[in-house]
Amino acid sequence: MRVESRKRDLYLGIGFLLFSIGVWIASLSIKHLVVARISSSFVPQLAATILGILSLILILQSVLSAPNDSSKVDVTSEQETESDAKRKQRVRLTFLLILLYLIFLEPIGFLITTALYLFFQFWVLSRRKPNLPLYGIIAVSTSVIIYYLFVKVFVLFLPAGILG
Amino acid sequence: MLEMFYVGFSQILALKPLILIFLGVGVGIIFGAIPGLTATMAVALFLPVTFGMHPVQGMALLIGLYIGGVSGGLISAILIKIPGTPSSIATTFDGYPMAQKGEAGKALGAGIFYSFLGGWFSFLVLFFIAPPLADIALKFGPPEYFSIAIFSLTLIASLSTGSTIKGLMSGIVGILLSCVGTAPIDAFPRFTFGFRELDGGFNLLPALVGLFAITEILKTAESDVEIKLENIANYKIKGFGFSAKEFMEQMGNFIRSSLIGTGIGILPGIGGGTSNILSYIAAKKMSKHPEKFGTGILDGVVASETANNASIGGALVPLLAMGIPGDTVTAMLLGGLMIHGLSPGPLLFTTSGDIVYGIFAALIVANFVMVLMEYFGIRFFVRLLKIPKHIMLPIIIVFCVVGAYGLNNRVFDAWSVMLFGVIGYVFEKWGFPLSPVILGFILGPIAETNLRRGLMMTQGNFLPFLTKPVSGIFLIIAVASVVYSVIKERKQRTQ
């Protein structure tokens, strides 16, 4: 377990180091005022430099503290239990649902998209046998209540979409 | 000062602000009581709603949410042994054992009562410290503000859980995220990669909602355990459940916990989440019977619940006096003030004294409302705990999207919610704390603006930042806090 987290820190350190170099390169294209001593690229470059140094420390920490018998790595840790796969599946689906929700929010409109999103999200997150009719009722009513609450009471604008 | 309080109360004691405070405290307690939902999230979700309101009314709602959110955590901490928010972690240590002994009513009563008292203590500190501190802060120049921002940032990075290096890296990532968009002072675009939408940079609200709410739902999707609510402890409240004698016995504990809570609150970056644990540990160390802690004694509940509410007034001190947020909730309050064109800081007391004292009055009223609602409405809040998470969280997500969209009526903000959500999720997985990201995001621009202004004044010479006493001291403490926590970590590792 600890070996695994050390290895992960090594990769993270390398990743963040590359990221900070990327930020440095991107910051070169920030325009400069000729008269200003400290330009707008100063702070991003400073921050990127510090991030780079911290990444190096992280890399060093993980390399130096690595035990000598590294041959034992990866013997037991790679076994994925069935519930592990299920969990990852739930995260992936949740992520996908939120993404679809945002994509279709404006073209289709708040009411329909929200009701659909809620219905499927309830389903994905439920651990026991899903109660689909109940989910449907909650999804539709929540969507309608939120829409009217925000549009009529709090006077916020929400995309009406095809119903508008 | 009394005159100003009169002005403050005259704005709060009207129908609409009172309704808003009731609404705020009620929703706050719900968010506090339900594990996974926090005061920060409650304030973030309601921030867009305050756009159209008068500043004092908007702040009244947000203050209600803050106070309710911090104290609501005790309900689930005592009854189901799961802290509703990080602010009531230590409440579970003795609160739940008390409930198991059949003293749930006593634990709840004492928790509510001492939350109230702790709040009051810190408000008095706020009322007496913030105005003179603002006077002092008026004399601060860019070097001082730069150093205080850096000090706050390093403090949160080194005090947050996990490794100091990772905490600092989180803070830097926050600063870099705040760099996207138009630069301060000369207004050149940075890291926009040609996207027009990025010119204004990321908004604070989508950032907060993404980091805290989306991260939470993704974590819930991943977790295997479902909170079993069948075994909610039986409870019955009668009075506040403790005697006058017990009250006198707790006096020392109360004062110590209030001081710890308020002090931790004033320190930037940390609040109730840290103070309740520290105060519990202190109470145990100072106690004549430390062995009884954890078995269900009143002292533990008193220490934890006094300290977390005492952090509220403390956290507002640097926000109102200097414009530096003390924790994530006060960062949201900062946003709440800024959308009304008010910039918190020493000048606020002179330019908008009515609003400052309106906030003070709202604190006092909301604290009373909190006791009333929690005491009489406890059955209702407990019932809400039974709503399954897989129903609750998706609805929260919808609120997040509505709030983020309502900000500027553009889907871009909803997309930033998603981006920050992903950042939050992977950061948590990788062991990077999230609070430094958000503090870096807020303090980054403050630090940058003041650094560049200061360097313009000194013709590019950094030395005055070190030689000016206030600025120098804060920078030294900043460095010392990092060095100290790195050394402490090394020691722990070698042990």
The pLDDT value recorded for residue B371 is 94
Q: How far is CA B338 from CA B55, B178, B401, in A?
A: 10, 16, 21
Q: Domain end: A41, A68, A95, which one? A: A68
Contact residues on chain B for A23, CB-CB shorter than 8 A:
176, 191
- In this structure, are A55 and A104 located in the same domain? no
B305, B306, B308, B311 alpha-carbon torsion, rounded to 10°: 170
- CA dist B215 and B418 (Å) reads 9
Write a three-state SS string for B319-337: HHHHCCCCCHHHHHHHHHH
Beta bridge partners of B190: B181
CB-count exposure of residue A140 (10 Å: 0-12, 13-18, 19+) = middle
Q: Domain end: A68, A97, A114, which one? A: A68
pLDDT band at B200 (very low <50, low <70, confident <90, very high): confident
Contact residues on chain B for A55, CB-CB shorter than 8 A:
169
CB B66 within 8 A of CB B252: no
Q: Least CB-CB distance to B221: which of A12, A54, A90?
A: A90
Which secondary structure element, helix H or strand E, spans residue B464, and what is its range? helix B463-467
B484 compared with B236, residue with greater pLDDT: B484
- CA dist B420 and B414 (Å) reads 10
What is the residue-averaged pLDDT of chain B?
A: 86
**Of the segments B191-200, B245-254, B479-488, which one has the largest average pLDDT value?**
B245-254
CB B427 within 8 A of CB B434: yes
- In this structure, are A54 and A7 located in the same domain? yes
- CA dist B206 and B44 (Å) reads 9
How many Cα atoms sit within 13 Å of B219 on the Cβ side? 18
To the nearest whole Å, the CA of B327 is away from the closest chain A CA by: 22
Q: What is residue A129's three-state secondary structure? A: coil
pLDDT in tens, B311-332: 999 999 999 988 888 777 888 8
To the nearest whole Å, the CA of B486 is away from the closest chain A CA by: 12
To the nearest whole Å, the CA of B482 is away from the closest chain A CA by: 12
Q: Which of A145, A156, A151 has its CA nearest to residue B47?
A: A156
- In this structure, are A94 and A146 located in the same domain? yes
- In this structure, are A49 and A98 located in the same domain? no
Contact residues on chain B for A134, CB-CB shorter than 8 A:
none
Give domain status of residue A50, yes or no: yes
Residue ranges of alpha helices (H) inside A28-153 are: 42-64, 82-108, 110-125, 132-148
The torsion angles phi and psi of B193, rounded to 5 degrees, stand at 50, 35
Contact residues on chain A for B430, CB-CB shorter than 8 A:
8, 12
The pLDDT value recorded for residue A82 is 54
Q: How far is CA A52 from CA B59, B369, B450, B479, B484, in A?
A: 40, 50, 24, 18, 22
| Residue B53: both structure tokens together | 């309101």
Q: Which of B403, B415, B257, B276 has its CA nearest to residue B332?
A: B403
CB-count exposure of residue A125 (10 Å: 0-12, 13-18, 19+) = buried
- CA dist B265 and B259 (Å) reads 10
Q: What's the pTM value of the predicted model, to 2 decimals?
A: 0.82
The pLDDT value recorded for residue A118 is 94
Boundaries of every domain in chain B? 2-494
Please judge whether A40 and B214 are an interchain contact, meaning their C-beta atoms are less than 8 angstroms apart.
Answer: no
To the nearest whole Å, the CA of B165 is away from the closest chain A CA by: 6
ipTM of the modeled complex: 0.81
Which secondary structure element, helix H or strand E, spans residue B255, and what is its range? helix B251-266
- In this structure, are A57 and A95 located in the same domain? no
Q: Is the confidence at residue B176, as pLDDT, over 50?
A: yes
Q: What's the rounded mean pLDDT across residues B52-74? A: 92
Give domain status of residue A76, yes or no: no
For chain A, the C-alpha Rg in angstroms (whole number) is: 25
Q: Are strands B181-182 and B189-190 parallel, antiparallel or unpaired?
A: antiparallel
Give domain status of residue A75, yes or no: no
Q: Is the confidence at residue B392, as pLDDT, over 50?
A: yes
Number of domains in chain A: 2
Give domain status of residue A51, yes or no: yes
CB B179 within 8 A of CB B446: no
Q: How far is CA B138 from CA A155, B4, B145, B150, B348, in A?
A: 38, 20, 11, 19, 10
The pLDDT value recorded for residue A71 is 44
B416, B417, B422, B427 alpha-carbon torsion, rounded to 10°: 100
Q: Least CB-CB distance to A150: which of B169, B186, B406?
A: B406
- CA dist A54 and B164 (Å) reads 10
Domain that holds residue A107: 84-163
- In this structure, are A58 and A119 located in the same domain? no
Give domain status of residue A155, yes or no: yes
The pLDDT value recorded for residue A73 is 44
Q: Domain end: A12, A42, A68, which one? A: A68
Please judge whether A51 and B173 are an interchain contact, meaning their C-beta atoms are less than 8 angstroms apart.
Answer: yes
- In this structure, are A53 and A112 located in the same domain? no
| Residue B66: both structure tokens together | 């803050």
pLDDT in tens, B10-42: 988 999 999 999 999 999 999 888 877 788 888
Q: How far is CA A152 from CA A72, A144, A146, B247, B407, in A?
A: 63, 12, 10, 49, 16
- B144-169 in b/e burial notation, b at 16+ Cβ within 10 A? bbbbbbbbbbbbbbbbbeebbbbbbb
Q: Least CB-CB distance to B411: which of A50, A106, A121?
A: A106
Give domain status of residue A79, yes or no: no
To the nearest whole Å, the CA of B217 is away from the closest chain A CA by: 8
Q: Is the confidence at residue B458, as pLDDT, over 80?
A: yes
CB-count exposure of residue B413 (10 Å: 0-12, 13-18, 19+) = buried
| Residue B130: both structure tokens together | 């913030």
- In this structure, are A127 and A158 located in the same domain? yes
B contact test, residue of A14, A154, A158 with most B CBs within 10 A: A154
pLDDT in tens, B394-434: 888 888 888 777 767 777 887 888 889 889 999 988 889 88
The pLDDT value recorded for residue B66 is 94
Please judge whether B398 and A117 are an interchain contact, meaning their C-beta atoms are less than 8 angstroms apart.
Answer: yes
B238 compared with A9, residue with greater pLDDT: A9
- For chain A, 164 residues long, give each residue's pLDDT as a single digit of tens: 466 777 888 999 999 999 999 998 888 887 776 566 677 888 899 999 999 999 999 999 888 876 644 444 444 444 455 577 888 888 889 889 988 998 888 888 889 999 999 999 999 888 777 889 999 999 999 999 988 887 877 667 777 777 76
Q: How far is CA B463 from CA A75, B143, B146, B150, in A?
A: 55, 10, 13, 16
Here the contacts of B418-421 (C-beta below 8 Å, separation 24 or greater) are B418/A98, B418/A99, B418/A102, B418/B210, B418/B214, B419/B210, B420/B202, B420/B206, B420/B207, B420/B208, B420/B209, B420/B210, B420/B211, B420/B214, B421/A98, B421/B210, B421/B211, B421/B213, B421/B214, B421/B215, B421/B218
CB B441 within 8 A of CB B175: yes
Please judge whether A43 and B395 are an interchain contact, meaning their C-beta atoms are less than 8 angstroms apart.
Answer: no
Give domain status of residue A89, yes or no: yes
pLDDT band at B70 (very low <50, low <70, confident <90, very high): very high
Q: Least CB-CB distance to A154: which of B49, B390, B493?
A: B49
Q: Least CB-CB distance to B221: which of A91, A143, A157?
A: A91
| Residue B74: both structure tokens together | 């005790």
Q: Least CB-CB distance to B190: which of A8, A40, A102?
A: A40
Contact residues on chain B for A118, CB-CB shorter than 8 A:
394-395, 398
State what percent of residues in chain B have pLDDT above 70.
95
**Of the segments A23-27, B48-52, B201-205, B381-385, which one has the largest average pLDDT value?**
A23-27
Nearest residue of B to residue A9 by CA position?
Answer: B430
- In this structure, are A42 and A102 located in the same domain? no
Q: Least CB-CB distance to B455: which of A38, A50, A90?
A: A38
CB-count exposure of residue B134 (10 Å: 0-12, 13-18, 19+) = buried
Nearest residue of B to residue A87 by CA position?
Answer: B222
Q: What is residue B181's three-state secondary structure? A: strand
Contact residues on chain B for A53, CB-CB shorter than 8 A:
none
- In this structure, are A62 and A88 located in the same domain? no
For chain B, the C-alpha Rg in angstroms (whole number) is: 22
B contact test, residue of A2, A33, A40 with most B CBs within 10 A: A40
Q: Is the confidence at residue B160, as pLDDT, over 90?
A: no
